[in-house]
Structure formats: C-alpha cells, structure tokens
Amino acid sequence: MKIESVDLYYLAMPAIKNIGDGSQDALLVRIAAGQWVGWGECETSPLVSMANWACPMSHSACRPVRDGVLGQRLETPADIARINAEVRKLGLDIAQTDHTLSGIDIALWDLLGKRRGEPVYRLLGDKQAYPKTPYASQLFGDDPQQTLAKARTMRDAGYAAVKFGWGPFGQGSVDADREQVAAAREGLGSELMLLVDAGTVWDEDVSAAAARLSMLDAFEVTWLEEPFVSGALAAYRELTARGSRVQMAAGEGAHNFHMARHLIDHGGIGYVQIDTGRIGGITPARRVAEYANAHDVTYVNHTFTTHLALSASLQPYAGMADHTLCEYPVEASDLATRLTKDQLRLDADGQIRVPESPGLGVDPDPAVIDQYHVDVEMYVAGRCVFRSGAIAGSNTDTAGEVARGGDMAD
C-alpha cells in the first residue's frame, strides 16, 4: 500500500496562558493508506510545523516534509525507518523537521499496527508489554501551601511517585526552593518517590544548580530534571561530578538520536527522558531506549499532553521490564484530557499498561477535534500551499487536497 493522504489539524484552547503547560494546543496528524488510517501527534508549535509540512523548497536539503511522505510505500517497519530517514535527509537544513516528522512517524506506526492487527510494541519486536509505574506530573504551586495541597491530592489518588516542576522553582533563592520541596515531601510522606523538574531554569549555570543539591538530598529527591538546556553537556557532567545522591534526568529536548546519546555518553545523566513527539517519532525513540538499556541509563517517556501522545511515548520501552517509570500528566487541559475516546488509566495496583489493541490503541474523538479545531490556510505568492482538511478526513474531500501536498515545492 502507499500513503495516499496526510491531514494536519491544529487544535487549541480558547485562551492560551503564559505557563509551562504544553497541553493548551495540539497538532494532530492523520495518515491514510487504502482503507487504513493512523493517527499521530507532534509536540510542537502547530503553525510552524504546518509550514514545515508545506513550505516551498529552498534547495535540495531544505525541502518540505511532505516531499518525503506522500506516495511512499508502507508495508513493513523497515518502510517506516526508510521514510523517517528520507524526511530527515530532505529537510536536513530545516530545524523544525524533527518535530513535524514526529507526528508523521507515530501515525505510520499506528496505521501499520492497525493493518497487521498488532499493537505497536510488538511491531517493534517486543513479545510482551510490562506495566509501568506512573508518576503524577504537575507544576509547582505558586506558593508552598499550594504545592502541599497538590502533593496530598496525588498521594490520596494512589500515585507511588510524583513530580513537581517549573513554576517558581529556581526563580528565587535557595531558601524559597527549599520551602517548595519541603512542602512537596510533607504532602507525599516519606514513602513516595519525589521528582523535581527545574525546566532548564539555570541554562548552564552549574553553581546555581549545585547550591540546591544538598537540599534535594535532604528531602530524598530521586532526580533533578533539566537543570540546564539539553546541549549543555559540560554543565551536566560537572554537576554529576559533585557526588550528590540526586541523579540528573534530561532528554526531552533531544530532537534526534544523537542528541540523546550525547547526554548519555557525555552528560552523565541517570535518566534519559524522550518525547516521541519531538525526537522524530517512535523510530528514533526506540533506538534511544535500546542504547540507554545497553549503557545502564534508565529510559523514561516524556509527555505532558494527550493520551494519544502518552500511548506513543510508552511503545519504545514497553517491553523493557527494568525501565519502570512513566510520566503521567495530571494537569492537562480540557482539550488534552478529552481528545481520545480511550484513556490509559491506573489499574488496581496503581500501574499503567500499554493498550493491547492494534496500533496505539487510542483514537481521537472527531467531536473533540471539531470543537477545538482552528482553520488554517497558507499562501505563497497568491497560491494556497496549505489548507486544513475536513475533520472527517475522507480521502476524497477537496478541502484537504492542498494540505496533502500541492505543487509549490516542486
């Protein structure tokens, strides 16, 4: 079969707030080949990736993503790897390509899994999926009292691990951060795992991060996530050399396998966190999972949006019994929480299990897409190079024809 159509849908909440919540909008990808349909999601700025899909060619290594996707053969996992490599080659000089490719790659795995009647993790070569321990992922409160209340709520909800991040953490004094972490630990009690996400607040300032290590040790924090930007390998290595019990976690900013590998090889991280919606999809994420496993680094998914993205993020390491933690967003927007018909819920043991249904095991709800859909048209020199497809996404609707390729890049 061949890829016949690709539709991109920009969804957004009515008002976007200036907070660290990536669930306020979404870019969905729908791919059709014959009677089969696959869904994916990009963790991206939607309009930028839409332009990346349809933009006119600048030169041979600066071509739109569509040039490597439409009309391609899709029969086996090897075809997905080939398409992934071709898109990267054609868009070598476009930084956005990895983000846009992510949703494409995820949708291809979903489609192929549905056609073969197998969940994605089996297509990746795993015989069984192991349950994961979800950590409730949320922002720090505006003050310690809010953080305390949030921690108690998550403890009462049955989570064995909780992560607090962003918000005011790292923005002020060490004492202010200590009060936040103390409130989190008090609310969780001594037995629950506590994780802290600094959200790259210190850029590459090792001294600022190191000033918090003894405090994090005292409250038995398992990891300090993203104290620095992803490329600050020397800063990560220097901080880990300080000898703290707190391990470093990073990787959500990795846009390809090589960035993740460098964090493992040269950054000294203990946990590598990969977002399939950013790194180029399930294909490179699986490669990172295997590399991490071989180098005694724990692989963890990164996701803060929908359950479609959550399922995709679990597939690369579903079959790895020793990599047990799973990021689980608990403060996502109404758009994100309602988007899929099926949800990955905690079971009686407080665990998350990858769906056994074909593909990703979750599909978007057309009614929710319709509710939050934002129409998009893009013109170059008076010619429409992109137009949002119809919500139903039928292979024959004329509204989607330009969105599926057009001819401006030829």
Residue with tokens 């795992």: 193
Question: Mean pLDDT of all residues in the chain?
Answer: 93
Q: Token pair 């494409």 is at which residue?
A: 104
Classify domain 5-119+364-400 at the CATH topology level: Enolase-like; domain 1 (3.30.390)
What token pair was written down for 373? 């859909």
pLDDT value, residue 22: 87
Residue whose entry in the numeric block shows the structure tokens 């008002």? 15
pLDDT at 392: 53
Half-sphere exposure of 279 (CA within 13 A, CB side): 32
Determine the pLDDT at residue 317.
98
406 touches 389 (CB < 8 A): no
Burial of residue 118 (number of CB atoms within 10 Å: 0-12, 13-18, 19+): middle
- What span, in angstroms and rounded, lies between the C-alpha atoms of 201 and 197? 9
* Helix ranges (DSSP H) in 347-395: 366-372
At 391, is the secondary structure helix, strand, or coil?
A: coil
Per-residue pLDDT tens digits of the chain, which is 410 residues long: 999 999 999 999 999 999 888 899 999 999 999 999 999 999 999 999 999 999 999 999 999 999 999 999 999 999 999 999 999 999 999 999 999 999 999 999 999 999 999 999 999 999 999 999 999 999 999 999 999 999 999 999 999 999 999 999 999 999 999 999 999 999 999 999 999 999 999 999 999 999 999 999 999 999 999 999 999 999 999 999 998 999 999 999 999 999 999 999 999 999 999 999 999 999 999 999 999 999 999 999 999 999 999 999 999 999 999 999 999 999 999 999 999 989 999 999 999 999 999 999 999 999 999 999 999 999 999 999 999 876 654 332 333 334 443 334 34
What is the distance of C-alpha 251 from the center of its chain? Answer: 11
CA distances from 327 to 164, 230, 238, 275, 330 (A): 12, 19, 26, 10, 10
Q: What is the pLDDT of residue 270?
A: 98
Q: Which fold has domain 123-338?
A: TIM Barrel (3.20.20)
Could you tell me the residue ranges of all domains in the chain?
5-119+364-400, 123-338
What's the confidence (pLDDT) of residue 243? 87
Q: What is the per-residue pLDDT across 96-106, written as a single tens digit (0 to 9) for each?
A: 999 999 999 99
